[in-house]
Structure 1
Amino acid sequence: MTFSVHDHGAHHADRCGVQGQAEILDLDAELLAEHIASITAWLPVKANPRQILDLGCGTGAGTFALLTRFPEAHLTAVDSSVSHLHRVREKACEGGVADRVRTVQADLNATWPDLGKPDLVWASAALHHMADPDDTLRRVHDTLAPSGLFAVVELAGFPRFLPDDAPKARPGLEERCHAANKRHHAGQVPHRGADWGPRLTAAGFTLEGERTIAVNIEHSHFEAVGRYALHSFRSMRGAVADALSVDDLVALDQLIDIEGPHSILGRDDLAVRTERAVWAARRT
C-alpha cells in the first residue's frame, strides 16, 4: 500500500523473496499513485499534520504520497524489512526529502520502539498481518497525539488482471487461483477482510469516515500492468500449485513463462481491477 504492506508487502510473497516483494510494492505505487493520492486528499484532517507515522511502510508508496500531500510534515517510516527501509531511504534521497524521513526497523508484533507523538498514523495493508490487531489499535491510540487521526487502508479485493474468458485453454483460471490462494492463507492471515470500523471504536477511536476505492486500470495506459500481473501470478504459484488441476497448473506456468508464446506479458487485454477500503478514525 505498505498502499501498503504491506498487504502488498505481504499478500504477494514473491518467489524471489524480498526483492520480488519490493518490485511488486514499487509497481503498486506506480500504478495506484492516483488512487493513493485521492485517499490522502480525502483524509479529514483538522490541521495539516507536522508528524506522521507510516506503519508497515514497505517501499514507501504511502510514505511519499503523504509527504507530497503534507509538505510541511516529517514522517517516521516503520517496517520489519531492512531492505524495504533501505529502498525508502534511497527514494527519499532521490526525491530531495531525506531530511523529512526517518526510518525505523521494528517488528510491531514485539516491543514497540519510541515513535514519538504523531498527528497522523497511516497503516496500509498492515493491520491484518498483526498477531493481535486489537492490541495494535490500542497501541496506535496511545501513540497518537490528542485529536490525532488514524488512517487504515486495506485490500477489499485482490488484484485481478485477466478477462473472465481467459486464458483461452482454461477460462476462469485466475478466479480458481485466487480461491486456492485464499484457502491456503486462511489460517495464516485470519484478519484479512475484517471490518475495522467496530474494532477502531472498541479501541477508543471515533470513526470519522469510511470509503471504498475502486481501481480499474487498463493495460493500454500503463506498460507496468503486464509486469505487475506477471509478479502477482508468480507470487501465487507456490501457494496454489498443489490445489490446481494439472491443466490449470500448465496454463498458469504458460502465463508466467516470459519466453513462451502464452506469456502474460504478450497480452493486450490486461487490466488492474481491485478495491481498497479506507477508514479514518480520531483519537478523542
Structure 2
Amino acid sequence: MNHAHHHADLTEILDLDAEILAEHTAAITAWLPLKTPPRRIVDLGCGTGAGTFALIDRFPDAHVTAVDASVAHLQRVREKACARGVEERVHTVHADLDDTAWPELGSPDLVWASASMHHMAHPDRALRAVHDVLAPDGLFAVVELAGQPRFLPENAPEDAPGLEERVHAAADRRHAGHPTHRGADWGPMLTAAGFTVEGERTVTVNIQGATSDAIGRYALGILRRVRGAAAETLSPEDLAALDRLLDSDGIMRRDDLMVRTERAVWAARR
C-alpha cells in the first residue's frame, strides 16, 4: 500500500470513528470534573478532530488548539471548522509531541488527549510537558481505547467462526516486539508526573449497526489495516477467509455488524 493511500484510509477511519462514537465522546466531555467551563483547550494528537469538535460543541465559549504531527489531518480539521462556521475558535498547530521542545501552547484550562498518548515514545516526558503547560488547577483528560474494536459476532464468518479474534491475536504477535503503551494504566504515570487523578471511568461501547453504512465502512477500514499486521502469522485458511470478507467488500453486505470496544478515561488535575 502506498503511503498516500494508507494515509487516506486512516483519515477516513478517524472520521468514521468520530461519527460512530460521537455520543460516547459527548458523554465523556460531560463527565469531566471541571470546576468552571474551560475557555482555552488543547487537543493533543487531534487526528481529524473528533475531540476538537466534541469540545467546541460542549463548551461554546472555548477556543481549541488542535495539535497533530500529520499535515493532512490538520488540513481536515480546518476544513471541518470552516464547514461548521467555527474557524475563529479552532487553531491548528503542526508538531511532533515526541520532540523534546514543544510548540507554544499558551496556558490551557483543559488538555484533551484521546488515543494519542499510547503512541508516544516517551510518555513520562509528555505527561510532564502537559503538567508544565496547564494553567494552575487545569484539568488533563486522557482517553484510550482498549485495543481495536470488534465488529463480527463470535460465530462469524460462517466459513471461519471466531476469525476476528484470531486476526487480532496474530496482529498482536506481530507487534509484540514493538512495545507501545496501548492498554496501559495511566493513573500511576499521571501521579508520577505531578497530577492528582480526580476521576477514572470505563465507557463500554456496544453499538448495533445492522443497517449502518458507516459501521460497515469502519469495519472494512480497520480490518484492512489489521490484515497488514496479521498476514504474516495467520494460517493460510484464516487469511483466505479474511480476504473473502475484505474482497469486494463482503463485510459491507453483512447485516450482523456491531461496534464493541471500551474506552478508558482518566481526569487529572494539576
- Normalised by the size of structure 1, how large is the TM-score? 0.92
Q: Which runs of 5+ in 1 are unaligned?
A: 1-13
The aligned amino acid for 1:201 is T
Do the aligned partners of residues 190 and 184 (structure 1) sit closer, same or farther apart at CA in structure 2, a change above 3 Å counting? same
Tell me if the contact between 1:149 and 1:282 (Cα under 8 Å) persists in the aligned partners. yes
Q: CA deviation at 1:77?
A: 0.1
1:220 is aligned to: 210
1:6 is aligned to: none
Task: Please tell me the root mean square deviation across aligned C-alpha atoms, in Å.
Answer: 1.4
Q: How does 1:101-250 map to 2 (within 5 A)?
A: 101-110=90-99, 111-220=101-210, 222-250=212-240
Q: CA deviation at 1:221?
A: 5.3
- 1:268 aligned to which of 250, 255, 270: 255
Q: CA deviation at 1:258?
A: 2.0
For 1:128 and 1:185, locate their aligned partners in 2 and report how far apart those are by CA, in whole Å.
14
Q: CA deviation at 1:192?
A: 1.2
- 2:75 aligned to which of 86, 91, 94: 86
Q: Aligned to 2:146, what secondary structure does the other structure show?
A: strand
1:5 is aligned to: none
The aligned amino acid for 1:241 is A
For 1:93 and 1:43, locate their aligned partners in 2 and report how far apart those are by CA, in whole Å.
27
1:56 is aligned to: 45
1:22 is aligned to: 11
For 1:149 and 1:17, locate their aligned partners in 2 and report how far apart those are by CA, in whole Å.
34
1:277 is aligned to: 264
Q: CA deviation at 1:187?
A: 3.1
- 2:86 aligned to which of 97, 102, 114: 97
For 1:59 and 1:87, locate their aligned partners in 2 and report how far apart those are by CA, in whole Å.
6
For 2:154 and 2:239, locate their aligned partners in 1 and report how far apart those are by CA, in whole Å.
17
For 2:178 and 2:8, locate their aligned partners in 1 and report how far apart those are by CA, in whole Å.
22
For 2:172 and 2:230, locate their aligned partners in 1 and report how far apart those are by CA, in whole Å.
9
Q: CA deviation at 1:183?
A: 1.8
Tell me if the contact between 2:213 and 2:252 (Cα under 8 Å) persists in the aligned partners. no
Q: Aligned to 2:252, what secondary structure does the other structure show?
A: helix
The number of aligned residues is: 268
Q: CA deviation at 1:178?
A: 0.6
CA deviations over 1:107-134 (Å, ceiling 9, x no partner): 1111211111000000001111111101
- 1:34 aligned to which of 9, 16, 23: 23
Q: Aligned to 2:191, what secondary structure does the other structure show?
A: helix
1:10 is aligned to: none
For 2:201 and 2:15, locate their aligned partners in 1 and report how far apart those are by CA, in whole Å.
24
Q: Which runs of 5+ in 2 are unaligned?
A: none
- Normalised by the size of structure 2, how large is the TM-score? 0.97
For 1:97 and 1:194, locate their aligned partners in 2 and report how far apart those are by CA, in whole Å.
34
Q: CA deviation at 1:104?
A: 0.4
Q: Aligned to 1:243, what secondary structure does the other structure show?
A: coil
